């Protein structure tokens, strides 16, 4: 903890006093606080809450992240489920003289937490801070799967200064390139140029339109099951449900939709960094959005506490195997006896000789598609990506 203390402002006394007045059983009574009176020691696999009130790289959303304590109060007064995972609140990242200073500080904090086998929860602040979460993996020498819940792809010029609507270009283009896969959940076609949509497809990235997500929310579960970093722009939620964002639209995900997505994220055995960005109460929108974010956090924590820790690539003993023939292809699916979740096997040849097996998360509907003699898009894209 000593190596990151200088980057952090502890939890305020007003929050400590607020928690003391809460009834027993509320989340706040069980949160381990980093405050002026006590420092903290971590237990592995715990969740760590960090606020980042940095708005200098937020496009058309000045003031984002300035009232994170409103989220704390709404979250801490909720009642905990039947949970065993510890939750820590580090406080807020100190804002640097420049945006870059804040970004570097956040990266150092996240890197430290990951090395301690902890699960950071980032509340911002500009979504450009997603770049710091991505770069935190540099020292771990690990490829990263990034998923973003956003109405836009946030692609901009590589030469531009990083901001909330161009950070993805920096992630894709800049070396060292640790990105293995990018997935967008909830994009709206009219907010993204056809060139951007084509680029995402040509790079073999995943993109799920808002309408497809709303009509079948389960399609995002396999995406999140294979994700390391999740970044949510609150502008993806329709304005009637989350008005505290200057870029909010009348169309978007509902409060129910986004809570289902955050629960899927929590259930993901792979996901280690969870971030919510672009929250902004400067437009006098009241407590509706802090309440929703608190519920999103609740469902994420609920999911984490019910992780199955299934790794079929290591042991297939507790999985049922299903084989489907499509023309000359043999597709193999695996269903977990424990959770009922599905995977599909993709065989890739190394140097045209040795076969290498990879198991990719999928849905029951992918299996049904194969039975109709339709190769699932998920299988095809992953096959091309791994070849």
Tens of pLDDT along 224-249? 999 999 999 999 999 999 999 999 99
| C-beta of residue 123 within 8 angstroms of C-beta of residue 71 | yes
Alpha-carbon distance 266 to 247, whole Å? 27
Percent of the chain topping pLDDT 90: 84
pLDDT surpasses 80 at 350: no
Asked whether 375 and 331 are in contact (CB, 8 A), the reply is: yes
Look up residue 40 and give its two tokens.
């903290």
Q: DSSP string spanning 143-179?
A: -EEEEEE-SS--B--TTSPP-TTTHHHHHHHSSS--E
Options 3.40.50.300, 3.30.365.10, 3.30.70.520, 3.40.800.10; CATH for 5-305 is 3.40.800.10
**Residues 161, 154: Cα–Cα separation, whole Å:** 13
Neighbours of 377 (CB within 10 A): 11
pLDDT for 39 = 64
Q: What is the DSSP string of 176-235?
A: S--EEEEEEEEE-GGGS-HHHHHHHHHTT-EEEEHHHHHH-GGGGHHHHHT-SEEEEEGG
DSSP secondary structure letter of residue 339: T
pLDDT tens, 58-85? 999 999 999 999 999 999 999 999 999 9
pTM comes to 0.95
- Does the structure show a pLDDT above 70 at 310? yes
Indicate the range of 45-59, 270-284, 348-362 predicted with least confidence.
348-362
Q: Domain residues of the chain, as ranges?
A: 5-305, 319-386
Contacts 24+ apart (CB under 8 A), 340-348: 341/221, 341/225, 341/308, 341/310, 342/222, 342/366, 342/367, 343/312, 343/319, 344/376, 344/378, 344/379, 346/379, 346/382, 346/383, 346/386, 348/383, 348/386, 348/387
Q: Could you tell me the CA-to-CA distances from 321 to 222, 226, 312, 328, 333 in Å, in that order?
A: 18, 20, 11, 19, 6
263 CB-side CA count, 13 A: 13
Kindly report the backbone phi and psi dihedral angles of residue 7, in degrees, each rounded to the nearest multiple of 5, phi listed first. Answer: -95, 0
Phi then psi for residue 220, to 5 deg, are -85, -15
State what percent of residues in the chain have pLDDT above 70: 96
For 131-187, the pLDDT digits (tens) are 999 999 998 988 999 999 999 999 987 777 899 999 999 999 999 999 999 999 999
Q: Residues 6 or more apart from 351 whose CB is under 8 A from it?
A: none
- Rg of the chain taking only CA atoms, in angstroms: 21
Alpha-carbon distance 148 to 158, whole Å? 19
pLDDT at 32: 95
Q: Provide the sign of the torsion angle of the four alpha carbons 108, 18, 69, 245, taken in this order.
A: positive
User: What are 368's two structure tokens?
Assistant: 């049904």
């Amino acid at each position: 903890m000593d190596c990151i203390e200088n980057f952090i402002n502890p939890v305020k006394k007003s929050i400590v006093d607020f928690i003391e007045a809460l009834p027993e059983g509320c989340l706040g009574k069980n949160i381990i606080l980093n405050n002026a009176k006590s420092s903290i020691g971590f237990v592995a696999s715990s969740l760590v809450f960090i606020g980042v009130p940095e708005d200098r790289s937020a496009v058309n959303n000045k003031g984002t992240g300035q009232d994170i304590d409103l989220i704390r109060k709404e979250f801490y007064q909720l009642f905990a489920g039947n949970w065993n995972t510890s939750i820590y609140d580090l406080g807020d990242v100190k804002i640097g003289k420049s945006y870059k200073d804040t970004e570097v500080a956040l990266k150092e904090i996240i890197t430290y937490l990951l090395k301690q086998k902890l699960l950071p929860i980032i509340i911002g602040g500009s979504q450009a801070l997603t770049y710091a979460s991505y770069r935190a993996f540099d020292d771990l020498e690990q490829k990263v799967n990034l998923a973003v819940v956003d109405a836009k792809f946030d692609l901009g010029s590589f030469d531009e200064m990083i901001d909330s609507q161009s950070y993805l270009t920096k992630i894709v283009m800049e070396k060292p390139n640790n990105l293995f896969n990018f997935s967008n959940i909830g994009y709206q076609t009219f907010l993204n140029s056809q060139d951007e949509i084509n680029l995402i497809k040509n790079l073999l990235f995943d993109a799920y339109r808002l309408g497809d997500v709303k009509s079948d929310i389960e399609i995002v579960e396999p995406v999140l099951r294979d994700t390391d970093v999740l970044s949510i722009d609150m502008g993806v939620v329709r304005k009637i449900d989350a008005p505290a964002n200057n870029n909010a639209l009348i169309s978007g995900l509902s409060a129910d939709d986004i809570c289902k997505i955050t629960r899927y994220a929590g259930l993901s055995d792979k996901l280690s960094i969870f971030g919510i960005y672009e929250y902004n109460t400067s437009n006098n929108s009241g407590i509706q959005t802090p309440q929703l974010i608190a519920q999103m956090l609740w469902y994420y924590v609920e999911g984490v506490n019910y992780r199955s820790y299934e790794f079929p690539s290591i042991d297939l003993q507790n999985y049922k195997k299903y084989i489907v023939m499509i023309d000359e292809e043999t597709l193999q699916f695996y269903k977990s006896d424990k959770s009922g979740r599905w995977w599909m096997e993709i065989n890739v040849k190394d140097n045209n000789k040795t076969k290498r097996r990879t198991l990719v998360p999928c849905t029951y509907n992918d299996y049904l598609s194969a039975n109709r003699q339709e190769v699932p898009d998920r299988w095809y894209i992953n096959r091309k990506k791994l070849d």
